[in-house]
Structure 1
Amino acid sequence: MIVSPKSAWIRLLFSRHGSMLEYIAAPLMLNLLLALAAVYIDYQHPRLFNELSPIPFSLIGVALAIFVSFRNNACYARFWEARTLWGTLKNTERDLARFVTTATNLPKDDFQVERAINLLAAFPYALKHQLRGTDPRSNLTRLLEGGLAMDILRRDCRPQYILELLQSQLVQWQRERRYGDVMLAYGLQRLDALSGVLGGCERIRGTLVPYAYDVLLNRTTHVYCALLPFGLVNSLCWATPLVSVFIAYAYLAWHAIATELEEPFGEEPNDLALTAMSVDTERALRQAVDAVELPPRLAPDRRFHLY
């Protein structure tokens, strides 16, 4: 995720960072070459494009803008939901940490309390790696004892197994009469909320925007941008390359941004900073048991990217 501080409008106007140019440079260059070719042909044959009106291009551009906006809204809705789910995860884990440290009447340095807190801290890391398809071994072995970490690593859905271990611990405390049925129901309700986060994230990752939208939008956008200079040259003449490239940049950049937002759990510049959110959640859990050593907060790199 890009976490660059807000800049003055003049700096944003000429900023290359976050402009998506690295993704659309090739089609923009093609559009510029076609626009220069259209200007040259119009100069050599002044009447060739006289009958080519820009009105059809305007109508097609409006329809294309509506379709691009629809896809961008659909992709941003996925990003928004993913962000909401991870916010729910952090709040729910705080609730469970408070429950573990107060309802059980156990000291905060008790082995069972520490184990439950470590399992809670391991959940967001396991979920992050599950969504990104990466290896959670380093995080799990750091937080959990060797045998427990290896037991979790053997599972296909590691976050779900962590929830099973937490539920077993809550049930065990209730059987030991550390709290009653009402408190157990509250704890299980919090675990259900984490299970809902897990299911929601898996749904977002497993069901992308229909592929037909990508094909249609990619095809129509590139064809429209390629033909646009020939529809503008009769009206704009030498200004055709400037206007054509600017319009093409707007459409192509919208398409590139939507492509990144469609999968919010990746490691691209506009994806969610899952690692940083996992660390922040662990810090909150450690503070719930008065831990002295906390994992350091992640800072953005020199390009203001936070992962």
Structure 2
Amino acid sequence: MIIRDKPSAFRLFFVLKGSVVPTIAPQILFSAMVGFFVYFAYSRFPNFLPILTVTPFILLGVTLSIFLGFRNRASYERWWEARKLWGQLIIDTRSLARQVQTYAWAENTSKNNFQPEIRDKTTDQVLECKTHQKHLVQLAISFSHALRHHLRGTDYNDDVYKFLSPDTTDRLKKVRHKPNFILNLMGEELRQLLQKEFIGEISARNLEERLTSLSAILAACERIHNTPLPFAYNLLLHRTAYIYCFCLPFGLVTSLGLMTPFVTAIIAYTFFGLDALGEELEDPFGTSAHDLALTTMSHNIEINLLETLNEDNLPEPVEPDGYYHV
């Protein structure tokens, strides 16, 4: 994701990082070359070149603009929904870390105060309770990293495995759906807390709501990732944009003359740029310049949750590469 201040009016024309120009440069250059060829042919052989009026291009341009607007709006809605889902992931993981420590500690404190007969066991119980608390929070960290790898199709690395035991790591490597498996492990930790009476049923129900919310976030992200916009719709837009930009010089050459290649290139930049931008936003979980900064967000979750556990050696935040946040 590109995060930067708005450049000045002069620099605005020379910004390439984060621009779609490098992606659509071949289409722009080819459109300009077609415009120059049409101008050259018209100036040398005016009677042999088919010349069109501007009217059909105006009608087709308006129609194409409307369709591109609908497509880009649909792509942006997918991008924004994905960002809201990851915002909810941050909320739920922070809430889970806070609740599991608050509820479990309160339960043990109440036992210590109101059940004197088990005071000889409370030290071991508190240590065991804190172990389950820590495991549950660490699993939430692993889940956020695993969700990122799952959506991007990248290899799972140490950021997922470092909080897991060797046995759990071996089991995780064998399963196909790793984020869902980690959710099951979190449910197992919650069951242990409830069975050992480290938390009450009401507290367990509240924590289960957090796990259910994480499961809903996982399913919603998969829905966006696995359901692209209809291929026929994209194909129609691609074909229409190419046909429009390559035929446009035939309608402009009589009125613009030598400026035909320049104007054609500007119009091609507009249409192909909107098309390319909509295509990038369609899948917001990738690693292009306009996709969501999943690595930054998942590492921020790790830092926040480790602070909740009062850990001292916190990882450093992910530094952006210039204006690019991964």
Q: TM-score, normalised by structure 2?
A: 0.89
- What is the aligned partner in structure 2 of residue 100 from structure 1? 100
CA distance in 2, matches of 1:290, 1:166: 20
Give the C-alpha shift of residue 254 in structure 1.
Answer: 0.6
Aligned AA (2:270): A
Give the C-alpha shift of residue 261 in structure 1.
Answer: 0.7
Larger deviation, residues 194-203 vs 40-49: 40-49
- What is the aligned partner in structure 2 of residue 293 from structure 1? 313
Superimposed CA distance per residue, residues 157-203 of structure 1 (whole angstroms, 9 cap, x where no aligned partner): 11111111111211221222222221111111111100000000111
- What is the aligned partner in structure 1 of residue 325 from structure 2? 306
CA contact (8 A) 1:137 1:153 kept: no
- What is the aligned partner in structure 1 of residue 164 from structure 2? 144
CA contact (8 A) 1:75 1:262 kept: yes
- What is the aligned partner in structure 1 of residue 144 from structure 2? 124
User: Structure 2 matches for 1:184-195, cutoff 5 A?
Assistant: 184-195=204-215
- What is the aligned partner in structure 2 of residue 257 from structure 1? 277
Aligned AA (2:250): F
- What is the aligned partner in structure 2 of residue 279 from structure 1? 299
Larger Rg: 2
Give the C-alpha shift of residue 287 in structure 1.
Answer: 1.0
Superimposed CA distance per residue, residues 27-70 of structure 1 (whole angstroms, 9 cap, x where no aligned partner): 11111111111111221234667962101101100000001111
The one of 229, 232, 236 aligned to 1:209 = 229
User: Structure 2 matches for 1:13-24, cutoff 5 A?
Assistant: 13-24=13-24
Structure 1, unpaired ranges of 5+: none
Matched, 1:81 2:81: yes
SS in structure 2 opposite 1:9?
coil
CA distance in 2, matches of 1:73, 1:203: 18
CA contact (8 A) 2:2 2:290 kept: yes
CA distance in 2, matches of 1:269, 1:230: 36
CA distance in 2, matches of 1:18, 1:97: 36
- What is the aligned partner in structure 1 of residue 112 from structure 2? none
Matched, 1:182 2:202: yes
Number of residue pairs aligned between Structure 1 and Structure 2: 306
CA contact (8 A) 1:128 1:275 kept: yes
CA distance in 2, matches of 1:143, 1:10: 50
The 3 A distance-change label for structure 1 pair 129 and 281 is same
CA contact (8 A) 2:54 2:251 kept: yes
Give the C-alpha shift of residue 113 in structure 1.
Answer: 1.9
CA distance in 2, matches of 1:175, 1:5: 53
Aligned AA (2:74): A
Larger deviation, residues 43-52 vs 267-276: 43-52
CA distance in 1, matches of 2:291, 2:279: 10
Larger deviation, residues 34-43 vs 103-112: 103-112
The 3 A distance-change label for structure 1 pair 95 and 49 is same
Give the C-alpha shift of residue 15 in structure 1.
Answer: 1.5
CA distance in 2, matches of 1:2, 1:220: 30
Give the C-alpha shift of residue 259 in structure 1.
Answer: 0.9
Aligned AA (1:291): E
The 3 A distance-change label for structure 1 pair 139 and 53 is same
Give the C-alpha shift of residue 107 in structure 1.
Answer: 6.7
CA contact (8 A) 2:92 2:210 kept: yes
Aligned AA (1:170): L
SS in structure 1 opposite 2:266?
helix
CA contact (8 A) 1:50 1:234 kept: no
Aligned AA (2:218): L
CA contact (8 A) 1:131 1:205 kept: yes
CA distance in 2, matches of 1:130, 1:51: 53
The one of 213, 234, 247 aligned to 2:267 = 247
SS in structure 2 opposite 1:110?
helix
Superimposed CA distance per residue, residues 135-168 of structure 1 (whole angstroms, 9 cap, x where no aligned partner): 2132222222222222222211111111111112
- What is the aligned partner in structure 2 of residue 220 from structure 1? 240
CA distance in 2, matches of 1:107, 1:22: 57
SS in structure 2 opposite 1:156?
coil
CA contact (8 A) 1:263 1:271 kept: yes
Superimposed CA distance per residue, residues 212-237 of structure 1 (whole angstroms, 9 cap, x where no aligned partner): 11211111101110001111111111
